[in-house]
Structure 1
Amino acid sequence: MTRLVVEADGGSRGNPGVAGYGALVRDGATGRVLAERAAPLGKQSNNVAEYSGLIAGLEAAARIDLAADVEVRMDSKLVVEQMSGRWKVKHEDMRRLALEARELCRARSAAGGSVRFTWIPRADNTAADKLSNDGMDGLTIDRSYAEGPGASTNDGTRPDAVIDRAPGQAPVIEEESADREEGAEGEPLTGREVTDPVPGAAPDLGVPTRVLLVRHGLTDFTVRGWLDGRGGEDPGLNQDGVAQAQACADAVRRLVGPDARVLTSGLYRARQTGAAIAAALGVEATEDDRFDEQGLGDWDGKSMGQVAARWPDELAALRTDPAYARPGGESHDELRERVLAGWREVVAAGGATVLVGHRKPFLVVLAEVLGIPHDRFWRLALAPGSLTGVEVWADGNASVSFVNRTSHL
């Protein structure tokens, strides 16, 4: 039977204050680190951060082996005693998180594994503590290591790895001995004038606009490969899509904190997904139909197989000719004009926005930010329910923190 060890922690600078969590998973036999997680939580309490670290560790362990026996080690006496059933959970936020953690434990038990909780002194939890400080510094870390050379050892050291930054953080290069300066805290910028980057100019190190792109959950059209553009049947989420929307809501809540706004396209599947996210954040979602999927005219409701077989040349034109449009539909140029008009307003508003929408409009945004030509942006994957992080500074510089993240699904 596989044995895994989860080490988890969370912290808050102010309690409540700037919060983040960290967690890692070790091979129970060798001590080798198999996965690391960290993320910011916005303004939260220390206990909420600790529970969030526990959940991240259990989720990471589930991705490695759902049937393994897991020992969770934490220096939070409160979390260990509550999860062991010896102390009651009274606070509403903690009750919700404890329930989420218990569901993960039940899923492991149903798969043949087990979970037990062990309290350890803080001095023995330094690796998770470091990751939780990374989260409080605004870093989002999602790393998995394969067995073999270059994997981590039980002394807590780690190989070189890419760090996913949460939207809102300036570029960070991490070295084993590097000191990191904490990001400046401040109110979201509003009414910003966004300009193109000036070659040779000093970079803007202020607070960027943060945007989390969330593609809607599955519909029956998505599963069957049917086209469902603007002006079509406007399908809603199927049962799996509803579950994806809730998983997105939980992930977004942990990632962006409580101060983000939620903006959706006008199509039903995006509005449903956005409603779940807005409920998790305690805000009202706003609709903007400029972020609707591309209008496909007479191709709406047809499968990609039908289109490829009957209209192969026209399908190639749709992918390569920005002026091509189907009867009753719209061209890429028309789509780009309306999407970027909405995007500029989102960026100018400052702060953090969760934008819930569709693949093609999001490809337009990413192509604009990264300078990718129309005939090549199709290479970007954006699965249903995926998360993509973008940040834009007032000087026009931009960064894509992560693309097509689906680990929460």
Structure 2
Amino acid sequence: MSRRRLVVEADGGSRGNPGPAGYGALVRDPDGRLLAERAESVGIASNNVAEYSGLLAGLRAVLGVEPGADVEVRMDSKLVVEQMSGRWKIKHADMRRLALEARDVLTQISAAGGSVTFTWVPRSQNVAADALANAAMDGRSISRDLRDEGTDASSVSEEFVDARTPAEEAETSRVAPADVGEPTRLVLVRHGVTDFTVASKLDGRGGTDPALNDEGRRMARAAGEAARAYVGAGPVSVVTSGLRRAVDTGAEVAHALGVAPEVDIDWDEQAFGDWDGRSVGWLQARFPADLERMRVDADYARPGGESQSELTERVVKAFDRAVARGGTVVVATHRKPIMVVLAHLLGIGQDRIWRVATAPASLTGIEVWADGGASVSFVNDTHHLRRLEGRG
């Protein structure tokens, strides 16, 4: 049975930028029936903060309509669409906070079986949300749910008049030109194997913290040699998580590149709490429902452990710091942090990111430009390990 499809239209504006600001958002079905609408002032704020607030309100309204729906978000803010799609970096602290809140809602929709995509539309195709945003800037607060009655969403805009001046409209729609300079090149290296890796045991932050075994050290040296091929222009740096197997791997990589490694503990593996040291097979036999919940519920954490949301928050911060270094940055880290970065850039839900392979000592390449545009160059490169397996 196919999932329900919904459309979110959202907008925000500021009379002064920053100035008195407000947002508007609505949810409708593909046939145009209005299901929910929201409008609210956000005080003195910029256009972009108001637009993000509208996006967040629209996504939260979806949770009240059908949290497991396939949702298309339509906005005339190129900035918000590109940033939420992972192609542009979010630099402003307030916008980053709102984007993280929005991603939390995306995770809830994904956990319920739904999905969210983002589409830029011209302002002429976003008049209903624009009208609601102007109502909010005029001091009106609107929160209506019409799931049972429904109405034609196109009629909403007739209640309000657009109050933005041509100068304010030009400011709202202005988009910085794309950056075509040299990107920061990130190479994410998953650590080599430990005895825990071989036994398929969970080993997270706060756990046993084993070192690489002999095979793992050989894999780390091979990964270091392979990373040399991906060094681009500018400075070269190596960052590792604070866990021994990543520190050991990063030391081999740094030696191959002729630099000193640095530790950033936000690249640590997820903390698994009371499950640390348990094999996946053991957990599957005894706690299949809880194990599945950990895969799909972003807020679920084991006693003494860490949720996916908490992991995501710290790893994205570490990713932003790595990007800010410029040049080539090689990060020795773990499976879950690599998955978090890929999900962050590609907009993949937590329930689907598990399908991406990230083998021990594999390399994953990412390029990020100054305007926030990003490209995943390759994932799970293990060609350098073939010599260790006797395949030439």
Q: Normalized against structure 2, the TM-score is what? A: 0.53
Alpha-carbon distance between aligned partners in 2 of 1:404 and 1:201, rounded to the nearest angstrom: 33
Q: Which runs of 5+ in 1 are unaligned?
A: 1-191
Q: Does 1:275 align with 2:251?
A: yes
Alpha-carbon distance between aligned partners in 2 of 1:226 and 1:339, rounded to the nearest angstrom: 22
Q: CA deviation at 1:232?
A: 0.7
Q: Does 1:204 align with 2:166?
A: no
The amino acid across from 2:363 in the alignment is: L
Q: Does 1:299 align with 2:275?
A: yes
Alpha-carbon distance between aligned partners in 1 of 2:379 and 2:281, rounded to the nearest angstrom: 27
Contact 2:235 2:326 (C-alpha < 8 Å) held by counterparts: no
Which residue of the partner structure matches residue 163 of structure 2?
Answer: none
Q: CA deviation at 1:255?
A: 2.5
Contact 1:265 1:290 (C-alpha < 8 Å) held by counterparts: yes
Taking only the aligned residue pairs, the percentage that are identical comes to 56
Alpha-carbon distance between aligned partners in 1 of 2:225 and 2:323, rounded to the nearest angstrom: 24
Alpha-carbon distance between aligned partners in 1 of 2:328 and 2:380, rounded to the nearest angstrom: 19
Alpha-carbon distance between aligned partners in 1 of 2:177 and 2:229, rounded to the nearest angstrom: 33
Contact 2:271 2:306 (C-alpha < 8 Å) held by counterparts: yes
Contact 1:261 1:354 (C-alpha < 8 Å) held by counterparts: yes
Q: CA deviation at 1:313?
A: 0.8
SS at structure 2 position matched to 1:408:
helix
* Greater per-residue helix proportion: 2
Q: Does 1:350 align with 2:326?
A: yes
Q: CA deviation at 1:367?
A: 0.5
Which residue of the partner structure matches residue 387 of structure 1?
Answer: 363
Q: CA deviation at 1:203?
A: 3.1
SS at structure 2 position matched to 1:240:
helix
Alpha-carbon distance between aligned partners in 2 of 1:210 and 1:224, rounded to the nearest angstrom: 33
Contact 1:194 1:394 (C-alpha < 8 Å) held by counterparts: no
SS at structure 2 position matched to 1:306:
helix
The amino acid across from 1:332 in the alignment is: Q
Q: CA deviation at 1:348?
A: 1.9
The amino acid across from 1:211 in the alignment is: L
Structure exhibiting the larger radius of gyration computed from Cα positions: 2
Which residue of the partner structure matches residue 399 of structure 1?
Answer: 375
354-363 vs 252-261, which deviates more?
252-261
Q: Which of 336, 349, 361 is matched with 2:312 structurally?
A: 336
Alpha-carbon distance between aligned partners in 1 of 2:360 and 2:180, rounded to the nearest angstrom: 33
Q: CA deviation at 1:201?
A: 6.5
Query: Within 5 Å, which residues of 2 pair with 1:193-342?
Result: 194=91, 202-256=177-231, 259-342=235-318
387-396 vs 200-209, which deviates more?
200-209
Query: Within 5 Å, which residues of 2 pair with 1:344-383?
Result: 344-383=320-359
Q: Give aligned pairs, total.
A: 218
Q: Deviations over 1:317-339 (max 9, x none)?
A: 10000000000100000001111
Q: Deviations over 1:211-233 (max 9, x none)?
A: 00000001110111111011110
Q: CA deviation at 1:259?
A: 3.7
Which residue of the partner structure matches residue 117 of structure 1?
Answer: none
Alpha-carbon distance between aligned partners in 2 of 1:338 and 1:287, rounded to the nearest angstrom: 14
Alpha-carbon distance between aligned partners in 2 of 1:407 and 1:259, rounded to the nearest angstrom: 25
SS at structure 2 position matched to 1:263:
strand
Alpha-carbon distance between aligned partners in 2 of 1:193 and 1:302, rounded to the nearest angstrom: 38
Q: CA deviation at 1:284?
A: 0.5
Q: CA deviation at 1:193?
A: 7.7
Q: Deviations over 1:248-307 (max 9, x none)?
A: 111112331694100000000000000011111111100011000000001011100111
Alpha-carbon distance between aligned partners in 2 of 1:198 and 1:309, rounded to the nearest angstrom: 43
Q: CA deviation at 1:352?
A: 1.2
Alpha-carbon distance between aligned partners in 2 of 1:248 and 1:351, rounded to the nearest angstrom: 19
Q: Deviations over 1:366-401 (max 9, x none)?
A: 111111111111110000000000011122211000
Cα RMSD, aligned residues only: 2.1
Contact 1:194 1:395 (C-alpha < 8 Å) held by counterparts: no
Q: CA deviation at 1:202?
A: 4.7
